[in-house]
Amino acid sequence: MESIRYSARRFAEVLGLSPQELTEAETRGVLTRLRAEAPQRTSYTVDDLARARGALGRQPARRPMRKQLFLNFKGGTGKTSVSTSYAFRLAEMGHRVLVIDLDSQGHASKCLGVAGEEAERTLFDAIIKKTPLEQVIVRTGMPGLDLVPSNLTMSTIDLSLMPLAAREFRLRNSMKEIESAYDYAVLDAPPSFGLLNLNALMAAHDLFVPVLADFLSFHGLKLLFETVQSLEEDLEHVLDHIFIVVNAYNATFRIAKEAREALQKHYPEFLLKHVIRQCTKFAQASSEGIPIFAYDAESKGAQDIQAVLDEVRARIGDPVKLKLASGSDEPKPAVGGGVVVPRVKTAAETAR
Ligand SMILES: Nc1ncnc2c1ncn2[C@@H]1O[C@H](COP(=O)(O)OP(=O)(O)O)[C@@H](O)[C@H]1O
Ligand SMILES: [Mg+2]
């Protein structure tokens, strides 16, 4: 993250200024110190960004921590690429964000420039040994963006959770103590079906499900949504929102269009309008350990994540009325070999 450089144009844009307003602030306004330190400046760092945001008083309003989980039991659908880019962008916008890497492969850590294998502690310590989460959190080098790293010690966590009391609630409980320190917690889940992911679901307000536009992804949703439904029945946890995000979309493939239409038909209340198009920059950015916004903010991938973020924020800020799929007398849609539509909170419930 320390290697990230913004051009003056992008720096102004991220701060919500025009290039002229930035120059103005640097010559006569509140950013004169920034300019004085580097009169010949051609680029800006992430620390410059944080300082400028502070000096300009352009921090977004603080909000109660919103826990957002990226999960799909299927691998390779973009959970890590999308969640880390999304989290980075929130931090770039001035929010306080904690990424929790739940996958023992540590890819989210890597995407944020942290070598998970070198981490002294992981979520394992927090939820199995009850080490305060604060002591597990590391800085990413991007101001406002912190991380609970992961490595192979996480691979036995499901087994270790098994005999513990309140085994489905350990993550939710361990997050309580850091609730006031962050606006968002972004959880990147492994593609597995087990106690850790159950913990993650129990902790989450919102569930993001990145899917590929193919029919395997479509069928994979059934198991996931059955699990979500059982959470309400067995553990009394109802999610605020579910967002299905079509990832790596290529509109020139007929199968992709058809799969998206099927999602639209069966999950209209969950499917996000914006898709994330296929974009090779995700892989390039992750190999450098920086998020796509820092690698190429103009890329299709970065633009699409921004569109998704905006759409989600509009939905969260102003909850739409969601159709009740269970607990009502309405028949469930009996299509495609059984589509499961879990219940999410209604607008009235969310407002409470
Ligand atoms: N929109 C996209 N376009 C092209 N490649 C993508 C896109 N999103 C993710 N990828 C690539 O797909 C692979 C799997 O993505 P990843 O985020 O690791 O998925 P998951 O975390 O669900 O396993 C990675 O190589 C990643 O670079
Ligand atoms: Mg992953």
Q: Are residues 18 and 141 in the same domain?
A: no
> With bands split at pLDDT 50, 70 and 90, how would you rate the model's confidence at 229?
very high
Say if 228 falls within a structural domain. Answer: yes
User: Considering its fold, how many domains does the chain have in total?
Assistant: 2
Q: Which of 147, 167, 169, 149 is nearest to 158 (CA)?
A: 167
61 within a domain of the structure (yes/no): no
pLDDT band for position 225 (cuts 50, 70, 90):
very high
CA of 250 to the centre of ligand 1 (A): 14
Q: For ligand 2, a single-atom ion, which residues have Cβ within 5 Å?
A: 79-80, 107
Give the pLDDT confidence score for residue 338 in this predicted structure. Answer: 66
CA of 3 to the centre of ligand 1 (A): 23
Q: What is the mean pLDDT of the chain?
A: 91
Residue 44 shares a structural domain with residue 158: no
CATH of the domain at 244: 3.40.50.300
Q: Alpha carbon of 198 to those of 149, 171, 202, 234: distances in Å?
A: 19, 9, 6, 12
Give a yes or no: residue 136 inside a domain.
yes
Using CA atoms, how far apart are residues 349 and 272, in angstroms rounded to an integer?
A: 21
User: Is residue 1 in some structural domain?
Assistant: no
For the residues 15-23, what does the mean pLDDT come to? 96
Nearest CA to ligand 1 atom 15: 78
What pTM did the predictor assign? 0.92
* Residue 241 clears pLDDT 80, i.e. is over it: yes
Residue 294 lies in a domain: yes
Provide the percentage of residues in the chain whose pLDDT is more than 70. 93
Q: What is the pLDDT of residues 50-59, one digit of tens each?
A: 999 999 999 9
Query: Which atom of ligand 1 is least distant from the CA of 282?
Result: 27
Q: Is residue 330 predicted with pLDDT exceeding 50?
A: no
